[in-house]
């Protein structure tokens, strides 16, 4: 694997591990999600440059737009959680199961 | 420049300048004195009338017509608009007549509106109307005609709603504007067609270029405009409602000048219509229908002004029939003679109304022959002229029209309708004269009956002289451009007179029956049809708006609010998603960490396998 390939793969996997093994705050999971998106963005941009497919140049922008939507959805969920449960701490989420 | 044309042009422009001068004196911030209406407006109209006799005499003597183009107003690249006055046969004759009638009406109005604190404003509005009307009849291009057209429409609105505290007056004014607007659509369509296809709004150029085109569409537009402005059937209810305005307004606008503007438009642009059979047939049938329908409605009305309004509408239908017969000059002759006796009928009505303390119902008048001799005499003269009594003013125009109708090879249905309407004219005219002047008084004893004021008597007398001799003077002075057919069977020649006499005899018989019981139960349906104006206002003014408004409400509430917004739009989407999310999330047990760890493992193995 080329060094570039290795760097964004590892960035992706690290972000995924951060999403998986989050312990206290929901917000940190969302931040790791953003990191995953960032690595994917770099991957798409490098794909375009590497294979010299100029028609594919818009793909990173598309990914950015959709990731913004998803981030806002995640933040909305965060705010909703904070509204209903008081904090975004994860141990609060199953304290009172209704 | 030749002396004749110099005198003609300068006197005509001077007429317009004399009429505009009092309007300019109102622009200064100092208030006018009380007598401004009489000293400025009435004398300016009188002076303008006397001034306009000069071009009339020159035209009589030498047949001079003139087109005065003053100012190049505006242009887009290939299209010019000028200020241009056309004083031909029609406008040179119409202007003095209109000014004569207006002078009499203004003098009468100085008595009628005497107690009104805003009398100066009333006279200003009447003068503004008169200027717009003169602009309309002297226009040489469609733009100037449109300015005059809209001007008379707006002044009509302001004058009908003069007593704006009265809800009925506001409704009537609004009705006038709306019905005129529908007609204006036709005029604007015609103007747009002319601008696009003939690239000109000048009348001479239109006449010259129209030979190559099929003019049906703009002609239908012009007929629609005439239907709106001249209250033909379909757009007629505004004219009887316009009687809410003061009587001088009814006399000036809605009998002599404004309502003939539509007919005048068709007369002016008649060369476009000469060869177009669709337009001619439309005019003929529409005019015949109008004249019969409105004459039938006039038979059972009880308000004296409404009867005269319906008779105006009936005569306008007759003018439309004449245009459909390809006889614009006869229609114009009828316009001129009709102005005199109709204005006089309105002035007599106004005198009677004021004398009986604002009583307008003819069932509450009677016996005025001895109490108001001058007014009732002139009422009778006017009614006789209206019915076409031989050798009064109306005879020359009405009889000529009916002779032309009889000897033409056109629609017999239109002919029959017109003849029936002529007999109805005799009936309702006699009804007015009978109820107002004959019999015993049915009004309150202490009515302030006084016609001794010269401001009342002189205008009515002047118009009476006009009603008697105007027809003779006009027909003997001007040659007809189309040869009338002189030989016809005796019954056809006397048809108008016979029908009128039959109507009069029928009316006399009916009045003799008023104190006998001919039938035990009266025939209600025809009376109700006539009295409710053919149910036309009741249906159109109630049903159509109700249908439109309920359609609008169902679109707004049911279609947009309930369907698009709630069932299929945002709310529908969200309710659908919530249902699906609830169904799905019941299946989960919430062990997020386990799920995500397995996911991580799978993804890592997949990435490593893909790269190695």
Whole-number Cα distances in Å, B230 to A86, B96, B244, B247, B258: 77, 21, 18, 19, 8
Report pLDDT for B216. Answer: 92
The rounded percent of chain B whose pLDDT value lies above 70 is: 99
Report pLDDT for B37. Answer: 78
Residue by residue, DSSP assigns B68-114 as EEEEEEEEETTEEEEEEEEE-HHHHHHHHHHHHHHHHHHHHHHHHTT
Token match 């002044």: residue? B155
* A12 touches B at CB < 8 Å: yes
Q: Which of residues 542-601 of B touch A (CB under 8 A)?
A: 590, 593, 596-597, 599-600
Tens of pLDDT along B537-577?
A: 888 888 988 999 999 998 888 888 888 888 888 888 888 89
b/e for B449-471, b at 16 or more Cβ within 10 A? bebeeebbbebbbbbbebbbebb
Report pLDDT for A97. Answer: 61
Report pLDDT for B28. Answer: 82
Report pLDDT for B148. Answer: 94
pLDDT greater than 70 at residue B455: yes
Least CB–CB distance from B607: residue in A9, A19, A20:
A9
In this structure, of B163-167, B219-223, B434-438, B479-483, the range with the lowest mean pLDDT score is B479-483
pLDDT greater than 70 at residue B125: yes
Report pLDDT for A98. Answer: 53
End-to-end CA distance of chain A: 49
Q: Report DSSP state, residue B2.
A: -
> Residue A95 — pLDDT band, cuts 50, 70, 90?
low
Please judge whether A13 and B607 are an interchain contact, meaning their C-beta atoms are less than 8 angstroms apart: yes
Q: Which of B594, B599, B581 is CA-nearest to residue A77?
A: B581
Q: Which of B148, B144, B146, B150 is CA-nearest to residue B74?
A: B144
Token match 């027909």: residue? B475
Four-residue CA torsion sign, B282, B285, B291, B296: negative
Least CB–CB distance from B603: residue in A1, A5, A16:
A16
| More confident: A32 or B70 | A32
CB neighbour list of residue B142: distance below 8 Å, 6 or more residues apart: B190, B191, B194, B201, B203, B206
Tens of pLDDT along B475-484?
A: 988 888 888 8
pLDDT greater than 70 at residue A96: no
- Best probe of the A interface among B581, B611, B612, by most A CBs < 10 A, is B611
In this structure, of B181-185, B299-303, B556-560, the range with the lowest mean pLDDT score is B556-560
- Averaged pLDDT, B393-416: 90
pLDDT greater than 90 at residue B320: yes
- Averaged pLDDT, B243-252: 92
> Residue B45 — pLDDT band, cuts 50, 70, 90?
very high
Report pLDDT for B591. Answer: 76
CB neighbour list of residue B61: distance below 8 Å, 6 or more residues apart: none
Residue by residue, DSSP assigns B548-569 as HHHHHHHIIIIIIIIIIIIIIS
* Backbone phi, psi, residue B70, to 5°: -95, -45
| More confident: A95 or A15 | A15
Tens of pLDDT along B78-109?
A: 778 888 899 988 999 999 999 999 999 999 99
- Averaged pLDDT, B202-215: 89
* Backbone phi, psi, residue B280, to 5°: -65, -45
- In angstroms, the CA B563 to CA B561 distance is 6
Task: Give contacts of A5 with chain B, Cβ < 8 Å.
Answer: 611
- In angstroms, the CA B3 to CA A94 distance is 110
Task: Give contacts of A7 with chain B, Cβ < 8 Å.
Answer: none
Q: Which of residues 166-225 of B touch A (CB under 8 A)?
A: none
Long-range contacts of B28-36 (CB under 8 A, 24+ apart): B32/B120, B34/B120, B36/B120, B36/B123
- In angstroms, the CA B396 to CA B388 distance is 8
Please judge whether B596 and A13 are an interchain contact, meaning their C-beta atoms are less than 8 angstroms apart: no
* A21 touches B at CB < 8 Å: yes
Q: Which of residues 11-30 of B touch A (CB under 8 A)?
A: none
Complex ipTM value: 0.81
Q: Report DSSP state, residue B485.
A: P
Whole-number Cα distances in Å, B166 to B114, B171, B532: 20, 9, 22
Whole-number Cα distances in Å, B86 to B11, B67, B134, B273: 14, 4, 11, 20
> Domains along chain A?
3-92 (1.10.287.3510)
The rounded percent of chain B whose pLDDT value lies above 90 is: 61
Tens of pLDDT along B493-514?
A: 898 999 999 999 999 998 888 7
CB neighbour list of residue B18: distance below 8 Å, 6 or more residues apart: B44, B47, B48, B51
* Backbone phi, psi, residue B245, to 5°: -75, 170
Alpha helices for B438-531 (secondary structure H): 454-477, 490-493, 495-512, 524-531
Mean pLDDT of chain B: 90
Report pLDDT for B296. Answer: 94
CB contact at 8 A, B378 and B461:
yes
> Residue A70 — pLDDT band, cuts 50, 70, 90?
very high
Task: Give contacts of A17 with chain B, Cβ < 8 Å.
Answer: 600
pLDDT greater than 80 at residue B75: no
DSSP-assigned beta bridge partners for residue B121: none
> Residue A54 — pLDDT band, cuts 50, 70, 90?
confident
B529: left (phi over 0), alpha (psi -120 to 50) or beta: alpha
CB contact at 8 A, B144 and B84:
yes
Furthest C-alpha separation in chain B? 127
Report pLDDT for B158. Answer: 94
Report pLDDT for B159. Answer: 94
CB neighbour list of residue B576: distance below 8 Å, 6 or more residues apart: none
- Best probe of the B interface among A2, A4, A15, A16, by most B CBs < 10 A, is A16
∠ Cα B438 B442 B448 (to 5°): 95
pLDDT greater than 90 at residue B239: yes
* A51 touches B at CB < 8 Å: no
Report pLDDT for A22. Answer: 81
pTM score of the predicted model: 0.79
Report pLDDT for B450. Answer: 87
Report pLDDT for B1. Answer: 64
Report pLDDT for B226. Answer: 95
Supply the angle between the helices B412-437 and B373-387 in degrees, to the nearest 10: 170
A52: left (phi over 0), alpha (psi -120 to 50) or beta: left
């Amino acid at each position: 694997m080329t060094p570039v390939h290795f760097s964004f793969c590892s960035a992706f996997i690290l972000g995924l591990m951060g999403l998986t093994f989050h312990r206290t705050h929901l917000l940190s999971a969302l931040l790791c999600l953003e990191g995953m998106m960032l690595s994917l963005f770099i991957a798409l941009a490098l794909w375009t440059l590497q294979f010299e497919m100029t028609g594919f140049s818009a793909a990173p922008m598309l990914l950015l737009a959709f990731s913004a939507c998803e981030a806002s959805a995640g933040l909305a969920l965060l705010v909703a959680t904070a509204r209903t449960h008081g904090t975004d701490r994860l141990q609060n989420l199953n304290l009172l199961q209704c | 420049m030749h002396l004749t044309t110099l005198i003609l042009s300068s006197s005509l422009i001077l007429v317009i300048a004399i009429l505009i001068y009092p309007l300019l004196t109102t622009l200064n911030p100092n208030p006018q004195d009380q007598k401004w209406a009489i000293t400025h407006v009435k004398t300016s109209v009188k002076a303008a009338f006397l001034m306009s006799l000069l071009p009339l005499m020159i035209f009589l003597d030498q047949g001079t017509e003139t087109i005065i183009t003053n100012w190049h107003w505006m242009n887009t690249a290939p299209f010019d608009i000028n200020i241009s006055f056309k004083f031909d046969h029609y406008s040179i004759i119409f202007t003095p007549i209109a000014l004569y009638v207006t002078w009499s009406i203004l003098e009468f109005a100085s008595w009628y509106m005497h107690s009104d604190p805003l009398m100066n404003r009333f006279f200003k509005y009447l003068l503004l109307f008169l200027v717009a009307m003169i602009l309309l009849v002297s226009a040489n291009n469609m733009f100037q005609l449109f300015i005059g057209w809209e001007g008379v429409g707006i002044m009509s609105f302001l004058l009908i709603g003069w007593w704006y505290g009265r809800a009925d007056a506001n409704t009537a004014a609004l009705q006038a504007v709306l019905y005129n607007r529908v007609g204006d659509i036709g005029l604007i369509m015609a103007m747009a067609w002319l601008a696009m296809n003939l690239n000109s709004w000048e009348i001479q150029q239109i006449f010259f270029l129209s030979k190559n085109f099929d003019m049906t569409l703009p002609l239908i537009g012009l007929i629609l405009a005439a239907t709106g402005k001249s209250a033909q059937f379909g757009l007629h209810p505004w004219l009887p409602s316009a009687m809410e305005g003061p009587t001088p307004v009814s006399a000036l606008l809605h009998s002599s000048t404004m309502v003939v503007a539509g007919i005048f438009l068709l007369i002016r642009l008649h060369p476009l219509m000469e060869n177009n059979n669709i337009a001619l047939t439309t005019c003929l049938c529409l005019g015949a229908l109008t004249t019969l329908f409105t004459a039938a409605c006039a038979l059972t009305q009880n308000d004296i002004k409404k009867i005269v309004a319906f008779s105006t509408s009936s005569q306008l239908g007759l003018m439309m029939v004449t245009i459909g017969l390809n006889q614009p000059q006869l229609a114009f002759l009828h316009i001129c003679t009709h102005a005199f006796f109709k204005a006089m009928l309105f002035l007599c009505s106004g005198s009677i109304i004021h004398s009986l303390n604002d009583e307008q119902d003819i069932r509450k008048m009677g016996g005025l022959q001895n109490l108001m001799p001058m007014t009732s005499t002139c009422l009778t003269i006017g009614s006789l002229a209206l019915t076409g009594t031989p050798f009064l003013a109306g005879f020359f125009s009405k009889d000529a029209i009916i002779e032309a109708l009889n000897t033409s090879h056109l629609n017999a249905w239109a002919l029959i309708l017109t003849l029936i309407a002529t007999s109805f004219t005799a009936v309702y005219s006699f009804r007015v004269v009978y109820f107002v002047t004959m019999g015993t008084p049915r009004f309150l004893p202490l009515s302030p009956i006084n016609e001794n004021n010269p401001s009342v008597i002189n205008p009515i007398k002047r118009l009476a002289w006009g009603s008697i001799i105007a027809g003779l003077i006009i027909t003997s002075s001007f040659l007809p451009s189309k040869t009338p057919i002189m030989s016809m069977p005796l019954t056809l020649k006397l048809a108008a007179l016979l029908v009128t006499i039959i109507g009069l005899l029928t009316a006399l018989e009916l009045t003799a029956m008023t104190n006998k019981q001919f039938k035990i139960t009266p025939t209600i349906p025809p009376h109700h049809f006539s009295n409710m104006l053919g149910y036309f206002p009741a249906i159109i003014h109630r049903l159509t708006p109700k249908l439109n408004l309920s359609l609008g409400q169902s679109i707004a509430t049911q279609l947009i609010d309930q369907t698009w917004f709630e069932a299929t739009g945002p709310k529908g989407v969200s309710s659908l998603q919530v249902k699906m999310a609830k169904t799905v999330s019941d299946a989960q047990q919430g062990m997020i960490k386990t799920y995500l760890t397995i996911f991580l493992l799978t993804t890592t193995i997949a990435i490593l396998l893909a790269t190695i």
